[in-house]
Structure 1
């Protein structure tokens, strides 16, 4: 009996995902544990494994398809002894896309575009018809100044594909009606409107540009940050912190850790300091829930990591209770997998507070947006030589600015100030965080 593979729920909040890439093709034999596909969720790109052995009989959802609902049948596996060629695709349930629909909706990868012979001659287009073309073909056509309405497509149902535009030469200017039809069909604005909608009045398509489709991760970032700024009343508290003692201790610790292959970063030590400060000021280690308040007994620090897909925040669990060497080793491993979109959901979901360090970019000071449902985030600026009062005398010290963003519904200004004061003391007297 054939086995239906369904779009899995790879995180508790996942309702739909993008089938980013198939790692198998029809006719391939697979065993339990083999990788079948890469699926992009609202947080990361994750691998989908086979749980049974058999032969891939049908692939029902093309790679690149967006908005595939959890539970949608994406492929069929023929079991041992079953004729894969005789396996029929299951009937699509209400609300589920059909295989043909997903293939037409999915845009081909930019590095390679597959073309299929049309099963029937493509119908001739009239001047008012919408031009069918792949996103890659549209982009190449725009770069070469081609009129898509003047081309005949060799793809399914007359769809214009990469091969059709690569060798085409720019011709005479199209008729006004055809130009309008092509312009309406081509994606011309960053916020691309559905076919038939007018372009935004602010958009000037005479400026050279590219259209980049938003990933699920970027869409989630946009939604969550908008939600945070619209619903959370932020209060910002900034302190200047002298780093000389912490830098001296870091150098001494790294000499001792060299034989173990561990090299502490300043950020590793700041994660530890924030964890200790949160546990010492529990009124800031909270989540606001409308009519309730969650007070955490442990500090799990989410650390902002920039990746090609956008920002993600892997979590250092129990930051106050871990050694600096453990935090350093853990962060290097988490950051590496974050940049490869290989984090597991439990490694980035949760956390009681966040830290974002932009000092390596030379940013002196900034105010970070709270990562809901957390109650605060700490923004770290660059350490720099500044005039500073040392022992009642003007001197020069290495100083950084740190700004805490607090959810004012849950955290009073005085409590936020207490956390910032303690964080400053721990950094300026770093033995206090490792004792």
Structure 2
């Protein structure tokens, strides 16, 4: 039975998104879970996967179109349903602008014999980032072998092709320097760089968050010498290298279990309290900051968290994150410690109710048992939605987090 594929709500409160690319050609069968289209949001490129086996009967919109949420994008049919009257099906489904039946030719006209159509080259699919890198390098998709899903070209394929092209290129003969065309300097000592669509969307989202959500902040320092020692021991046996941030994510889950009242988000009618601990992790990708969500972190080992985060980083770069990867959770973790930033505060990612900003672990003098000694201290700043969590509850949660970091065996118990 034919159905319409509509633009999904790829982010909470979103009204539209860009149809970046069709990943399946018309009259081509697909299987359950196979990506059909690539959608661009303010956070990432998100694949729209098939909910059942079928065939793409007709794409209703070209790539690059901005589409309202809920609007039809394509007509899908059951597998083997290619030989159907697509125009009539669209009319039956109430799609505006469905084509009318073609006019009947006069009986005296004899149609010319059909001429064979030239064979079109097979389309090579690539991620948006890969297409940009190809253009900058002066390469075509046909020159690159794709290793992504269904042979799609991703960033690492382009980087490999560029490196091979440089090795194979003969040395250029020396030429006399040519005079450069005069380029007028930017007026008044600056140059305007136009905003991208994604940068505008991120700016609007963060502005709304600060205007609508009443933020307050709780700051603590955790002594992490024992945590760093545990990390060294775990990395001797772990299949995936565990970072300090991976252990912080696990500690957030322990704190949520200790203070379950903080595992909530604000809705218009009620506080929604979650049973599972799902945590967003901020990733700085080529397209901007995105926050995919780790599921069930309270049941996940540090090595499994490390593997999942690295998979998110890879798929963020390839543009293959899915809509479900970006949804849910009550808290996010963002870490600038690797850049030497010791302390900062972050803006809450709605509809979540908190975000934890993690700074660099640095040696500092501390007083222990009346004696001054040097200890490694980690700065933690929790931004909180005061509608969902009050000050005392946030303080209790931060105490539980600090205890989990300073007694790290809790993270592997």
TM-score range, shorter chain: 0.5 to 0.7
- Cα–Cα, structure 1 residues 269 and 4, in superposed 2: closer, same or farther, change >3 Å? closer
Query: What is the TM-score with the length of structure 2 in the denominator?
Result: 0.66
| Offset at residue 317 of structure 1 (A) | 1.6
Q: Alpha carbons of 1:248 and 1:214: their partners in 2 closer, same or farther (altered >3 Å)? A: same
Secondary structure, counterpart of 2:299 in structure 1: coil
Change (3 A) 1:98 1:61: farther
| Residue 315 of structure 1 pairs with residue 293 of structure 2 | yes
Shift in CA distance, 432/47, structure 1 to aligned 2, threshold 3 Å: closer
Name the SS of the counterpart of 1:382 in structure 2: strand
Task: Work out the CA distance in 1 between the residues paired with 2:67 and 2:188.
Answer: 28
List runs of 5+ in structure 2 lacking aligned partners: 100-130, 136-180, 182-186
Query: In 2 relative to 1, CA 396–337 (structure 1 residues): closer, same or farther, beyond 3 Å?
Result: same
SS at match of 2:230: helix
1:403 deviation in Å? 0.6
CA contact under 8 A between 1:315 and 1:347: conserved in structure 2? Answer: yes
Compute the displacement of 1:95 (Å): 10
Looking at structure 1, the residues matched to 231 and 81 of structure 2 have their Cα atoms a distance apart, in angstroms, of: 58
CA contact (8 A) 2:337 2:359 kept: yes
Q: Distance in 2 between matches of 1:357 and 1:373?
A: 20
Give me the whole-angstrom Cα distance separating, in 2, the residues matched to 1:402 and 1:336: 27
CA distances 1:221-251 after superposition (whole Å, capped 9, x unpaired) = 3333222211221111111111111000110
Q: 1:10·1:41 contact (CA, 8 Å) conserved in 2?
A: no
User: What 5-or-longer segments of structure 1 have no aligned partner?
Assistant: 100-108, 113-169, 171-203
Give the aligned partner of residue 209 of structure 1: 192
Q: What is the deviation of 1:412?
A: 1.9
Moved runs in structure 1, 4+ residues, more than 4 A?
A: 3-7, 12-15, 22-25, 33-37, 48-54, 73-84, 87-91, 93-99, 109-112
How far apart are the structure 2 equivalents of 1:340 and 1:377?
Answer: 26
Structure 1 counterpart of 2:206: 225
Deviation at 1:341, TM superposition (A): 2.6
2:234 pairs with 1:256: no
Partners of 2:97 and 2:369 in 1: CA distance: 71
Alignment map for 1:354-373 (pairs within 5 Å): 354-373=332-351
1:274 to partner: Cα distance:
0.7
2:373 is matched with 395
Offset of 1:68 from its aligned partner? Answer: 5.2
Give the equivalent residue in structure 2 for 1:281: 259
Displacement of 1:270: 0.5
Within 5 Å, give how 1:42-121 maps onto structure 2: 42-47=42-47, 52-53=54-55, 61-67=61-67, 70-73=70-73
Greater length-normalized contact order (CA 8 Å, ≥ 6 residues apart): 2
Aligned residues: 324
Determine which of 222, 228, 239 is the counterpart of 1:241. 222
Q: Give the 5 Å matches for 1:150-161.
A: none
Q: CA RMSD in A?
A: 3.8
Distance change (3 Å), C-alpha of 1:295 and 1:262: same
Distance in 2 (alpha carbons) for counterparts of 1:290 and 1:8: 25
